A and B are shown apart, each in its own frame.
Chain A
Amino acid sequence: MKKVVTNIEDRSRARRKTSPPVVDTAPAAASWPDRLHAVLRDMAIHQVAYVPDSGHARLIALVQSDRGMRAIPLTTEEEGVALAVGAWLGGDRSVLLTQSSGVGNCINMLSMVQECRVPLLMLVTMRGEWGEFNPWQLPMAQATQPVLTAMGVVVHRADDADQIVQTVSAAGRLAFNTSRAVAVLISQRVIGAKEFKK
């Protein structure tokens, strides 16, 4: 077990061509996206696929400036599920960043990771659940966890900022050590409701 972890760290280091990137002014105590980025790096994640969400904005910026990671913007979230299959076939680790509405787009493609036992790590920022302004977000917010569970995806929740990093770290170990699909739902309490300013 210990050997595996060491090896992952070695691979991570081998991929990195430069020292950790600096994106704008980092606060003295790193914010959770910064710590999350470090966790993904330590897991030797190479391919980072995403459909943007404001909750993932800083993490995406960190990934884009990290030469050891490949930022892969998608047109729709199920592309990221299929990408994870190809990445794994080729010996790469990937992660899929999405907002909760994007989970609905993934449903059929999740068949593939289930049938092929491909590790899939999804980081899902929730919309439509905490102080939401936009009523169109609510149906998918309510359905996110049941849909994932129905497709056999293991679901972890992180309801406050302090939980996010350790939850993602545990989810990543579960996904890659047991070849399973694991989603971490990051509460809208952490992100905050989007403000519609005039």
Chain B
Amino acid sequence: MKTPRRKPVLDRRAVVAEILKRRNGALVVAGLGAPCWDTAAAGDNPLNFYTWGGMGGAAMIGLGLAIAQPKRRVLIITGDGEILMGLGALATIGVQQPPNISVIVMDNEHYGETGMQATHTRLGVDLAGVAKAAGFRAAATIYDNAELRTWVPRLCSEPGPVFAAFKVTTDHAPLVLPRRDGTALKHRFREALLGVEEAYK
């Protein structure tokens, strides 16, 4: 049943930059590893929450945020290894149907931080298929720039939950490390979103 494999050609930095150009006040949760560096490279923002641990939790952070802030778009930008560790989250999001969520996977089909071992997506697992089966309103695997141009606006505004896996290369990109103190990241996010008074009540 496996479809023939298509070689990933998209550049991860360019994809994330293209998405975040249109964020328009969206709240961003970045999954640990390269998606954090990609998000930081596109320009730091107090409404970016970078995770440096808790692998498998990024999508669920996004769900809690989306339910708390139904009027804001929530973009979860993570990797294939990270989402595979918490696949059940796609089912939980599918059940909740938050209209303001997009789960965006930078799928390079490898564990980039631990020696480039293949992930399940390299071995045939179709994440967009999982998302669709879990109840996402729209889900796709994006291979080229033409598809990217159609999907970026959808991810930023279409009623969700929406899912997209971007097939990106394993090419090395320079490290752009965001802040890593979790408490500091939490404080600046809440200050920017809720205001100083509410953030420290």
Contact = CB atoms under 8 A, between A and B. Distances in A.
A7 B198 CA distance: 11
B64 A47 contact: yes
Contact of A92 (B68, B186, B201): B68
A22 interface: no
A79 interface: yes
Interface string A106-119: 00110110011110
Interface string B6-31: 00000000000000000000010100
B88 A79 contact: yes
Contact of B56 (A74, A78, A84, A117): A78
Contacts of B117: none
B92 A109 contact: no
Contacts of B59: 82
Contacts, number: 121
A87 B96 CA distance: 14
Interface in A72-93: 72-76, 78-92
B92 A75 contact: yes
A83 B190 contact: no
A88 B64 contact: yes
Contacts of B91: 75
A87 B54 contact: no
B69 A112 contact: no
Given A72-B92, A74-B92, A86 B186 contact: no
A17 B158 CA distance: 28
A79 B201 contact: no
Nearest to A176: B201
Contact of B186 (A72, A80, A117): A117
Most interface-central of A81, A82, A118 (chain B CB within 10 A): A82
- DSSP majority for the B interface? helix
Contacts of B124: none
Contact of A91 (B52, B63, B68, B185): B68
A109 to B, nearest CB: 5
Nearest to A112: B54
Nearest to B198: A91
A134 B56 CA distance: 30
Contacts of A90: 27, 64-69, 193
A82 B182 contact: no
Given A83-B64, A117-B186, 9 more contacts: A72-B63, A72-B96, A73-B92, A74-B88, A79-B60, A82-B60, A86-B62, A91-B194, A91-B198
